[in-house]
Structure 1
Amino acid sequence: STQLSKIRLAVHKQSIRNDLILHEKVRLREAPNNEKKRRKRGKPLLLQRDDQYHGGAVLWSPWKVQQARDRQVEQDAKKLLQQQQKEVEQERRQREKEEKAEQLAERRQKATELKQRRRQQKQDEALQREERRISQAANQQLKGDLQAASKGKARKQKPIKSCTNDIADQTAGVEAPKAVQVEGVALPKATRTRTVQPPQRYLI
């Protein structure tokens, strides 16, 4: 019937419309990938036109195409060489920087070690001077003690005798003379400590 035909036609149109929408979505989804692929293609050849070129189509001979390719390869190699030289220069500068830093650190380390050695040397010299001073003082003290001990020993070996002992030793074993009364002369009396002897002229 006519109504059924209209329905079928509408369904068919809607199906076609859906297919177009789906295809457009797929194309939009794949567009970034296609752009990347297009960018990855080979670079355009460096074909050189003649000075007499005035527009229009240009036909290139295989020899011209090969020349253009050779120029492209040479240009790419030159850029690569420049990049490599740049990297080598950067590495060289980095090595020089590291070497200078190492040399500076080494000089600082040597200066620190030299300073420590000098400080230690001064401390050792001061310690040696102090030890010599203490040793000299000890030797002087020992010498003085020995001299004092020698003097004390000499005093002990030679005792001092009293005058009373000398007189007693001299009169020991000698009979005392008898005292006589002389007219007009008073004889001395005995003291509490010792007997006083009269002069010899008054003794018989």
Structure 2
Amino acid sequence: MIKVEYVPSDNMIADGFTKPLPANKWARFLDQLGLVEREEAPLREIGLKEVQEQLEGLIIHQYEARKLRSSVHHLSVQYKLLQHENEGLKEALQHKKKHKKKGKALDLQQRQEYHGGSVFWSPRKIREARAREVVRERDKIEEKLQKAQAKKQREEVQLQRQVKLEEKRVERQRLKEIRELERAEKAAERARKVEAQHQKKATQQAQQRKRKASRAPSSKNKRQKRAMEDRARDRVASPPSPPPPKTTSLNVSRATITNLINQAYDPSSIAANNLSEILLRLQAAKEIAEYEKDALRAALHVHQKPRNRHEPPLDLQQRKAQLVKEKEKEKELLDKIELKEAKENNRIYQLKIKEAARAAREEAKKVRDEAKAVKAAELDAKRRDRDAAKAIQQP
């Protein structure tokens, strides 16, 4: 149902139209005129006669109806003219496309003695010229096809060469990584062997020092015993005997220290970095040397001290007590040295455990990286194979 409302003439939109409205724009036109659609009906094309009938029956003022009718008539005429013009242009464009192809002159192969003028060609010559033109076109098409096939073959060969080169590169990289892993394993094995040898050697040297330190006081006690027996037997004042040589234990300690220093600065040894262990051993050797020096000084003082004629010789029990004290002192010193060595060995062992854990983590990370690289190379090779297959399948 359509409802008609009054619209002023100055609000009409017919004055500014230069081309006809399509069917889907009539709703806006009716809205400007006040013709409001209350029902949602599908848009359809409205003819001039139908619009005139509706306007004559619905619009109130006749003047506005005449003006609107003339505007609609003008728009309808313009629409028809433009429609005919578009059809003519389309036909002209189609004819132009048909006549766009240019002709080619036939190769009639005229003689060399031709000097101008009119020439008449027989039908046989024309047929021969057309046949030659057909052969020439066919040869041209075959040549283009051969060039295209040769280009395609070159691309396929180049693609295969690139695939082979990439496969060789991946294989070389894989072999290189395997060789690096083998070298790292061999180096780790050599390092473990060298470390075990140095540890064994250090243990043997420590045991040798302990044995030598335990033997040194016994020799001193024997010398003291012989000196006391000689004095008791002679009962005569004798000149002081020279001090006992103090080169044995001290020389052994110096040799041990030199050996330790050489081990510490040996570049091929893994234990060269454990300077704290070497310093501890040097300190132990120094304490042993100081203890021996004090013992020798005490013995020298005993030999040089003039014995009172009325002073009785040392009792056997006193001498035994003195020897027991010296042994206890020596044992205490050795216990301290062993405790320090045990602490230092424990610290070195903990450091080695940490270093081994770090090396294991690095090796695991390297293995993971290698697996990722191999997987990426496989994916890349598969992608290249797919691209090559697609390129070959394309016409």
Q: TM-score range by the shorter chain?
A: 0.3 to 0.5
> Looking at CA atoms only, which structure, 1 or 2, has the larger radius of gyration?
1
Which structure exhibits the higher relative contact order, with contacts defined as CA atoms closer than 8 Å and separated by 6 or more residues? 2
TM-score (structure 2 length as normaliser): 0.27
Please report the TM-score for the alignment, with normalisation by the length of structure 1: 0.47
Q: Specify which structure has the higher proportion of helix.
A: 2
